[in-house]
Amino acid sequence: MQKIYTAIFITILLIITSTVIAQDEDFFEPKSSIGGYGELHYNNEKADGKEAKKVLDFHRFVLFFGYAWNEQWSLKSEVELEHNFVKDGQGELELEQAYINYHHADWFGFQAGVILPSVGLLNEYHEPPLFLSVERPEYSKNIIPTTWFGNGVALYGSHEGFEYKLSVMEGLNSDNFKNSSGIRSGRQKGYKADAENFLYNGRIDYTGLPGLRAGVSFTYNKANGDSTEVPLTLIEFHAKYTANNIHAVFEYGNISYSDQPVESSMGYYFDLGYNVASFFCDKMEVIPFFRWTDYNTVSSFEGGGDAEKKYHNKKWMVGLSVKPIPQVVFKLDYGVRENQLTNSEVKLFNLGAGYMF
């Protein structure tokens, strides 16, 4: 069945591409583009009965590079260095995007290369000024899991207030799934990826109102490894409203598994903030905010019991995000995470600075 779905997808891609490939290059001059983002973090984490753990880290340094051959054909890429350097298992150097992009018109385009599936609000667009907290939301790490990338192809477009994206890419390695982090360790990250079972992802968003993005995505993969095979579906809903000085976000996701003791992972969070600088200055943003998070990487376990409580965490957070210009942000937040099984608390205080260009 998977081979049939893949063949249909590729056939549609080839037919549409051959139909729309004609273009006018007379007035276009090829050009390069560069961009990027980065973020510095101070983290102070205090668990019950333990010494506080204090870390100062330049978490990410990312460069985008693009080249447009003409108005339709371009290359888009992203290279990321995490934690300053890479040596002896410390730090990471990753090629998170590298794809040929064909943009025929607003209603149709396609990508081929290292792509990002369209899951949640942050997986594709995760520059520091685009979210309120110092660290990315824990939901985005443990349920989605951001940043998720791999080798594949995608179709995308927009029409009359709706946007869509359909992706076929490398699947997940089920041997690396963990109760503590769900599917996160199963990402193959494009390295000689096993192509036995492809992953299928589709997303549709409504953007017809100023400042609003609301939508849903569906992902299916018969994840496999050397010793396991775990069919799974990920369904998530998301909404973001940033207008009239209001910053509101809601995301909910559920992963259903087959053929293993863990039956599901579930989580959600919501943010609510307001730009108080609107009362005294229109050249910057000062956004106090509140976040509530609830996630469980083992929300349903065969037989139930403590296994369903061990990885169930709730967290409240208050914070402040200050943008002197839209591309630069300074942040602070304080939160408390509580585990259902142990009733233990972890207190977290974070400071951050970030940029994008």
Does residue 3 lie within any of the structural domains? no
pLDDT of 12 > 70? The answer is no
**Among 69, 76, 74, 88, residue whose Cα is nearest residue 29:** 69
Q: Does the pLDDT at position 25 exceed 60?
A: no
Question: Do the Cβ atoms of 315 and 337 come closer than 8 Å?
Answer: yes
SS3 336: strand
Q: Is 11 contained in some domain?
A: no
Query: What span, in angstroms and rounded, lies between the C-alpha atoms of 292 and 171?
Result: 31
Q: What is the pLDDT of residue 16?
A: 58
| pLDDT confidence tier of residue 348, bands split at 50, 70 and 90 | very high
Looking at the domain assignment, is residue 25 inside a domain?
no
Q: Report the chain's mean pLDDT, rounded to a whole number.
A: 94
Residue 171 pLDDT > 80: yes
Domain for residue 27, yes or no? no
Answer yes or no: is 102 within a domain.
yes
Question: Residue 20 falls within a domain, yes or no?
Answer: no
Structural domain boundaries, residue 176: 37-356
Helix (H, G, I), strand (E, B) or coil at 351: strand
Which CATH number fits the domain that encloses residue 248?
2.40.160.10
How many domains does one find in the chain? 1
| Tens of pLDDT, residues 282-327 | 999 999 999 999 999 999 999 899 999 999 999 999 999 999 999 9
Residue 28 lies in a domain: no
Q: What share of the chain is helix, strand, coil (3-state, %, to 5)?
A: 10, 60, 30
| Distance, CA of 221 to CA of 34 (rounded, Å) | 34
Tokens 């061990």: give the residue.
310
Q: How many CB atoms lie within 10 A of CB 231?
A: 16
Taking only the tens place, the pLDDT of each residue in 234-251 is 999 999 999 999 999 999
Question: Could you tell me the pLDDT band of residue 24, with boundaries at 50, 70 and 90?
Answer: very low
Residue 218 falls inside a structural domain: yes
- Using DSSP bridges, classify how beta strands 312-325 and 285-301 pair: parallel, antiparallel or unpaired: antiparallel
In contact, 353 and 330? CB cutoff 8 Å: yes
**Which residues, in sequence order, are CB contacts of 27 under 8 Å at separation 6+?**
none
